[in-house]
Structure 1
């Protein structure tokens, strides 16, 4: 069973690398924008792949709904390009999902920074603690 996991992981890693390049160089639709592929989950039978992405100008799935729609419509084209460039017998069906974790991370980072700034203004932050 470990070998099967390793194979699905290798396929997922390959798809992540190749899709990032293909979207950057081959997808011409301006509605997609600047997209980064953050992860790929491939089913055990290698028939389906969930592709997670972030977009530079989107912090929520609602903001990225148009990009998601365009990417899902382009999935057939992307599969055909992948099949030309790979030695895989079959290329999984691709389904794109917006990855909101990056946006949530940014907002949490902003909250922490504001709390730290507020503590400094009130004189509650000790500079000796920040050095250790």
Structure 2
């Protein structure tokens, strides 16, 4: 004897789960495609250390803001951003061929400062922990 579960019934017709917005799905596809593209096709040594951290696409799918990080930190962020801007046409052509969209979004590259901010906050926490240890040892 099976017990009737309304959640399973709703899921089977597609009403029980929350669907992602199209712009979010497109952003994920662009991030995945560019990450693979950067590994396989880009030969510019300035772009060797680039990692695509996240992509934000506007709701009308006209603009994609691509946030990147560098393994070496933010020292060469501006130069890398210029190199990415120069390769933008090459990348956009690749996306047009692979994503099969009516309109390929304009690509805007920005350095993602989130990793730097996290490292800064972690260093503050480390300083606090060190001060607590010093006070505990002095008492």
| Superposition TM-score tier, normalisation by shorter sequence | 0.7 to 0.9
TM superposition shift of 1:118: 2.1
Aligned to 1:75: 88
Contact 1:33 1:56 in 2 (8 A): no
RMSD: 1.9
Please, which of 92, 102, 117 is the counterpart of residue 105 of structure 2?
92
The TM-score, its normalising length taken from structure 2, stands at: 0.78
Q: Which consecutive segments of 4 or more residues in structure 1 shift more than 2 A?
A: none
Structure 1 residues without counterparts, runs of 5 or longer: 125-132
Aligned to 1:129: none
TM superposition shift of 1:28: 1.2
Whole-Å Cα distance in 1 between the matches of residues 134 and 89 of structure 2?
55
Pairing 1:12–2:57 present: no
The TM-score, its normalising length taken from structure 1, stands at: 0.81
Q: Highest Rg: 1 or 2? A: 2
Whole-Å Cα distance in 1 between the matches of residues 120 and 71 of structure 2?
14
Please, which of 21, 25, 39 is the counterpart of residue 54 of structure 2?
39
